[in-house]
Amino acid sequence: MTTNTDVVVIGGGYAGVIAANRLTKHDGVTVTLINPRSEFVERIRLHQLVTGSDDAVMDYRELLAPRVHLLVDTVTLIDHDVQRLELASGGDLGYDYLVYAAGSGSADPRVSGAAEFAYPIATFEEAERLRPVLRATPDGAPVTVVGAGSTGLEIATELAEADRTVTMVCGDSFGTYLHPKARRSAVKRLAELGVTVLEGPTARVTAVTRDAVHLADGGELPSAVTIWTVGFGAPDLAARSGLSTDAQGRLLTDETLTSVDDRHIVAAGDSAAPSNLPYRMSCQAARPLGAHAADTVLARIAGDRPEAIRLGFAGLCLSLGRRAGIFQMADRDDTPKWMYLAGRPGATMKELVCKQTVKELATEARKPGALTWVSDRTRAARLRERRDAVQPAR
């Protein structure tokens, strides 16, 4: 007699799709993927959705293995004591193992007026809300982008290339991931597109109103549309369900990605905080984390000991409009190198990465277990150093 194992995956993003597909390696596993949307969102194209150069969605039928059941719903509570999920539709669903891949969204701006008058674009719904607002705004009207990380740089250049009048308010955080050489290339591209860049301690937003942005130096910028790109945060589902999380709401796990509270729950993607030392929130990390979460579940089903995650990085890709971009190369521990590609080669690399990413999801559906990744062996050393630093003196 064979026993079937029910595994539920919360979240149909990059990590969740990879995890669901990889779980089908085991014939005795029933996989249910719960997602609030019936289409897959290409989150790394949301800035294109805003300007209309891409719709940023794909049909799940192109990406999911036939054995994965897609349930369009939202989980409102994880009752891990009895291994059941409460759903927004009013029903519930039991599980033997749970993959928590709830992703991330916009962080609380904590700036007066930002929640009311600024537009975040961390999710499909947010980007879709901004799009008609921009269409209704005259071409010459001032647009302000707050934040100069990858999202800020991508949306600012996308809009400027569409002949919008754009100002970026950066504070002290312009392209912080980029090596100084790549950062200079990004500054040059912004200048070519006519983007005004306000940088430094006085270029910090203190308040947002319906038609202006107020700065720390007392200045006021007219702003017909203000776009907020500062920071990401995890959903509060894990915390509301009584599970241990980090300060950003990510599920606390060990190095196998297993919850510190419950061996039947593993985390993946942006919502995972292994050893309270989470990886950079990114599509690049989400796919291997999703695959490793599935491997941990499959090992437990087989009665084997799961392995620790060893994830290495390659760098960061960002577009600077449709005709330019930057591919910032990095060491495996995610430290940026001096090497980078810029201009049209950078744009070509970014587009190849976007296409390769969804191709990997589809490949995992056909050949579960296909995804591999490079290993970073410095993580174990960093964890040992942190552990030794908190050991009491003898």
Structure tokens at 215: 């700065």
Residue 132 has a pLDDT of 96
CA distance 147 to 126: 16
Q: Which residue has the tokens 């200079």?
A: 184
pLDDT at 9: 98
SS3 116: helix
For residue 352, which phi and psi values (nearest 5 degrees)?
A: -60, -40
Question: In this structure, are residues 225 and 141 in contact, taking their beta carbons and an 8 Å threshold?
Answer: yes
Token couple for 14: 């990059």
What tokens were used for 99?
């993959």
CA distance 346 to 181: 14
Instruction: Determine which helix (DSSP H) or strand (DSSP E) holds 34, and give its type and residue range.
Output: strand 29-35
DSSP 8-state symbol, 353 = H
Between CA 161 and CA 341 the distance in angstroms is 20
Calculate the alpha carbon distances from 371 to 108, 128, 157, 341 in Å.
34, 31, 33, 25
3-state secondary structure the chain: CCCCEEEEEECCCHHHHHHHHHHCCCCCEEEEEEECCCEEECHHHHHHHHHCCCCCEEEHHHCCCCCEEEEECCEEEEECCCCEEEECCCCEEECCEEEECCCCEECCCCCECHHHHEEECCCHHHHHHHHHHHHCCCCCCEEEEEEECHHHHHHHHHHHHCCCEEEEEEEEEECCCCCHHHHHHHHHHHHHCCCEEEECCCCCEEEEECCEEEECCCCEEECCEEEECCCEECCCHHHHCCCCECCCCCEEECCCCEECCCCCEEECHHHEEECCCCCCCCHHHHHHHHHHHHHHHHHHHHCCCCCCCCCCCCEEEEECCCCCEEEEEECCCCCEEEEEEEHHHHHHHHHHHHHHHHHHHHHHHHCCCCCCCCCCCHHHHHHHHHHHHCCCCC
Q: Where are the alpha helices (DSSP H) in 91-179?
A: 114-117, 124-135, 150-161
Provide the pLDDT for residue 393: 47
What pairing do the DSSP bridges indicate for beta strands 165-174 and 196-199? parallel
- HSE of 13, CA atoms in CB hemisphere, 13 A: 30
Inter-residue contact 259 to 244 (CB < 8 Å): yes
Q: What is the pLDDT of residues 3-44, one digit of tens each?
A: 799 999 999 999 999 999 999 999 999 999 999 999 999 999
- Beta-bridge partners for 72: 35
pLDDT at residue 59, rounded to an integer: 96
The type of residue at 71 is L
Residue 117: how many other CB atoms lie within 10 Å: 18
pLDDT at 390: 60
pLDDT by position in tens, the chain (length 394): 357 999 999 999 999 999 999 999 999 999 999 999 999 999 999 999 999 999 999 999 999 999 999 999 999 999 999 999 999 999 999 999 999 999 998 888 889 999 999 999 999 999 999 999 999 999 999 999 999 999 999 999 999 999 999 999 998 889 989 999 999 999 999 999 999 999 998 999 999 999 999 999 999 999 999 999 998 889 999 999 999 999 999 999 999 999 999 999 999 999 999 999 999 999 999 999 999 999 999 999 999 999 999 999 999 999 999 999 999 999 999 999 999 999 999 999 999 999 999 999 999 999 999 999 999 888 878 887 877 776 554 4
What's the confidence (pLDDT) of residue 150?
A: 94
Amino acid 391: pLDDT: 58
Cα 62–68–71 angle (5° rounding)? 95
Q: Quote the pTM value.
A: 0.94
Q: Which residues pair with 192 in a beta bridge?
A: none
